Amino acid sequence: MSRRALTLLLAGFLVLALGVVGAFRPVPYVVLSPGPTENTIGEVDKKPVISIKGRQTYPTAGALSLVTVAYQGGPAAQIDLLTALRGWIDPTVAVVPQETIFAPDRDPKEVEEENTVEMTNSQDSATAAALNELKIPYNMVVTVVSTEKGKPADGKLQKDDVINAVDGKPATDVDVVGDAVKARKPGQSVVFNVTRGKDKLDVTLHTVAGPQGQTLVGVLMKADYKFPFDVDINVGDVGGPSAGLMFSLGIYDKLTPGELTGGKKIAGTGTIEPSGEVGPIGGIAQKMVGAKEAGATIFLTPADNCAEAMKGVPDGLRLVKADTLHDAVLSLDALRTGKGNVPACEAG
């Protein structure tokens, strides 16, 4: 073998070796793919997803399925370049920068705790929304779950403090408290009126800027509801708030005579407020694919996600726009009976 041929062979081998090594190097990206679906009026591990005690319930049929997004990657388990490349090729998944899912200055354990609290809040908000739709009264208070170390609330607000008001505005829900803080500029003060044990206290905090420039004090809150009967939701490891709409519909269906679905397989997504307002979510493309794979033919879509959803809706999946829980109930009634308006998503 000539010297030139040997040099080319060695160079080619070196390039190949570097390529192989590079393919398995960790990269700061996260792969999002269709996750599992759960029928909110069905069962998980032989247990009802939604259990109601202390109130009459009615038989259900069909499916009202929540949809999820699975992810690979993150600070604790970064994916390699080869996995990212496979994701970029697959049209059913998305590859996004790691910081869009995990804020660079946040502890992953804190993010996991927030996701757990968000899921609990979502379940309670879903129950509240269903009861509001049915005109069933209940009580609610906003409580402190934890404070973030080094932030203004650290050492001043305590776990289980009941937040009565912020700057004199009644704390009617968690978002009201959050919005009151965000309305201040970083460095301005905000006054929390709280009940701690038997005492009522005014706690003054000086706000700071968060990583995205938002104003915060570093407090994690939840809404503690006192419902007139027990509603238990069992979904295993599913986290985050995006299943709220489907939880509400499942609870509503169980508490009302007749079958809301008409026997159809319906899936959907969207956050839910106690008022019944449906909010946007992330990963809509992957959630639609998961819904179609689960056999759904109808997909309830938050109004703010409609334009994005229309760009990649799977064949055979009908998108129905849902602004509120009330709208979603009316749409399902119309689909079941063939009477009434069914608002469709439109391309942006």
pLDDT digits (tens, 9 = 90+) for 306-342: 999 999 999 999 999 999 999 999 999 999 999 888 9
pLDDT at 20 over 80: no
Per-residue pLDDT of 133-164, as tens digits, reads 999 999 999 999 999 999 999 999 999 999 99
Residue 192 confidence (pLDDT) above 90: yes
CATH of the domain at 317: 3.30.230
Q: Is 242 a catalytic residue?
A: yes
Q: What is the pLDDT of residue 348?
A: 61
- CB 41, CB 63: distance < 8 Å: yes
122 and 145 fall within a common domain: no
Q: Residue 194 in contact with residue 157, Cβ under 8 Å?
A: yes
Token pair for residue 272?
């839910």
Q: CB neighbours of 231 closer than 8 A, spacing ≥ 6?
A: 50, 51, 52, 127, 251
CB-facing half-sphere around the CA of 65: CA atoms within 13 A: 28
Judge if 281 and 330 occupy the same domain. Answer: yes
Q: What is the pLDDT of residue 232?
A: 94
Q: Could you give the dihedral angle defined by the CA atoms of residues 5, 11, 13 and 19, in that order, rounded to the nearest 10 degrees?
A: -150
SS3 track for 141-208: EEEEEEECCCCCCECCECCCCEEEEECCEECCCHHHHHHHHHCCCCCCEEEEEEEECCEEEEEEEECE
Do 76 and 46 touch, CB atoms closer than 8 A?
A: no
The pLDDT mean for the chain works out to 87
Q: What is the pLDDT of residue 96?
A: 75
Closest CA to 155 of 205, 222, 194: 205
pLDDT-derived band at 217, boundaries 50, 70, 90: very high
What pLDDT was estimated at residue 5?
Answer: 54
**What's the whole-number mean pLDDT along residues 272-298?**
94
DSSP conformation class of 213 = S
Domains: count for the chain: 2
Whether residue 6 is predicted with pLDDT greater than 60 in this model: the reply is: no
Domain boundary among 185, 204, 225: 225
219 and 102, same domain (yes or no): no
Tell whether 242 and 220 lie within a shared domain: no
Which parts of 227-275 are beta strand (E)?
230-233, 265-268, 271-272
Q: Pick the catalytic residue: 151, 156, 254, 287? A: 287
311 counts as catalytic: no
Domain limits for position 172? 139-225
Residue 124 sits in the same domain as residue 250: yes
Instruction: Decide: 217 and 181 in contact? Cβ < 8 Å.
Output: yes
Of the two residues 324 and 95, the one the predictor is more confident about is 324
Residue 125 confidence (pLDDT) above 60: yes
Q: pLDDT tens digits, residue range 231-271?
A: 999 887 666 688 999 999 999 999 999 999 999 999 999 99
Q: Is residue 9 part of a domain?
A: no
The pair of structure tokens assigned to 249 is 């519909």
Residues 205 and 285 both lie in one domain: no
In a domain, 252, yes or no: yes
Give residues with Cβ within 8 angstroms of 177, minimum separation 6. 142, 163, 166, 171, 221
The residue out of 201, 225, 249 marking a domain boundary is 225
What's residue 32's pLDDT? 81
Nearest residue to 298 (alpha-carbon basis) of 323, 329, 264: 264
Catalytic entry in 65, 125, 146, 242? 242
339 burial level (CB within 10 Å; 0-12, 13-18, 19+): exposed
Same domain, yes or no: 213 and 331: no
Distance CA 194, CA 203 (A): 7
The pLDDT tens digits for 28-82 are: 777 788 899 999 999 988 899 999 999 999 999 999 999 998 877 777 777 677 7
State the pLDDT confidence band at 99, using cuts at 50, 70 and 90. confident
Containing 95, the helix (H) or strand (E) segment is: strand 94-97
